Every structure is written in C-alpha cells, then in structure tokens.
Amino acid sequence: MLPAIIVGYLLGAIPVGLIVGRLAGRVDLRNHGSRRTGTTNALRVLGPVPAAIVLLLDLAKGAAAVLVGAWLGGAQSADLTAAAAGVAAVVGHTWSVFIGFGGGRGVATAGGALLALGPLIVLIVVPIMVAVVAVTRYVSLGSIVGAVLAPVVAAALAVAGLVPAASVGLAAAAGVLIVLRHIDNLDRLRRGTERRLGQREPVGRQ
C-alpha cells in the first residue's frame, strides 16, 4: 500500500493551478486572491478558461491516483489501496511538496478520486453542491456541504452494494481535509465577508 500512497501523493502534489497561472500570464496564484492554487482562485484571478483547465486537471489527478492505486493493490486489495491513494492525492494537492507545502483546498482532486472509485457518489453530491452555489453564490459553502454530505451518501450507497465500502473511507477522510482547509472561509461566512462567485481579483502581471 505504501507505494500507492507515495504515488498518489506525488500525483496530487503536481501544482496544476500554479503551472496554468504561469502559462496563462505569468501569474502566481499564491500571491493573489485566496492565495490557493485551486479552481475557485484560478477563476477569480485568471478567468473561466484557465479555471476550467485547472478543474479538469485537478479532477484527473485524483482519478489517476485511484486508478494507479487499484492497479498496485492487485485483486486482493484494489479498492482499499485505491482509496488510500485517493486520500494521499488530496493531501498532496493541499500540501504540495513541490511548492513549499502550499496548495488548494482539495475539492476537485477529491471529486476526481471519488469519480474513479464510486462515481454514483459524485453524481448525487455534485448537483446538490451546484444548487447551493447557485442559490448562495458561495463556492466555499457548496464545497463544505459536499464534503460533509459525501461520506453520508457513500455509506448509503455502500450498504446498498452500489459502491465499494472503501469509498466511504475515502469520502470521509477527504471530507475532513476539505473542511479543515475551509476554516478561513467558514469564519468569513460567519462574518458575512466571504467573496461570492463571479467576483474577479484584479492582478498585475509578474
């Protein structure tokens, strides 16, 4: 399992947002907006097209980690090893060794991991997240709701035999990490100062 965890971490740690920001206009996302390297800050700082690229690649990181983990786990422990690699990818994304242990909040990478291991979880949770964001215009609130809801949905689906039991552990561990990475957002939501979807962050080129 250790090789899968290491590979999962390294895949997750690839700083996609930082790379896209550099290519899109020599912008270091760590110096602007929320200073995170994920999709929401990329949207706020770089615009919709670069943000979409960041989203897709961060999803791909999580999915790739799970698929590699399943392969390394073999027939005996494919699901468990895949889940461990998926959690490691979320850790890598949020605390990337390549950029001084900074990173994003892990939502897209966790989504990619769950999409590879238990796609029904994502199909149920994502529309709810989208609805929350559509009503409130707070991406952070949608992300937190999704992080809390995913383990519950995963458990119900696992009991029904529709997703692997290991997906519950993946959803729970990723959910805890995501909520922890949103502590500052929770404080701003409480104070009414959280930025809403669509607010751009003006930046100068570096």
The predicted structure's pLDDT at residue 76: 81
Q: Of 22-26, 41-45, 159-163, 195-199, where does mean pLDDT reach its minimum?
A: 195-199
Sequence-distant (6+) residues with CB within 8 A of 79 are 70, 73, 117, 164, 165, 166, 167
Residue 206's pLDDT band, with cuts at 50, 70 and 90, is very low
pTM, 2 dp: 0.92
| Alpha helices in the chain, H assignment, sequence order | 2-12, 16-25, 39-45, 48-94, 107-117, 119-136, 139-159, 166-181, 183-191
Residue 34's pLDDT band, with cuts at 50, 70 and 90, is confident
For residue 199, pLDDT over 70 is answered with no
Q: Where exactly are the structural domains of the chain?
A: 2-191
Dump pLDDT digits (tens) for 97-112.
999 999 999 999 999 9
Residue 25's pLDDT band, with cuts at 50, 70 and 90, is confident
Rounded average pLDDT over 33-48: 91
Dump pLDDT digits (tens) for 111-159.
999 999 999 999 999 999 999 999 999 999 999 999 999 999 999 999 9
User: What DSSP state is assigned to residue 194?
Assistant: P
Distance separating alpha carbons of residues 152 and 157, to the nearest angstrom: 9
Query: Does 197 or 65 have the greater pLDDT score?
Result: 65
The predicted structure's pLDDT at residue 205: 44
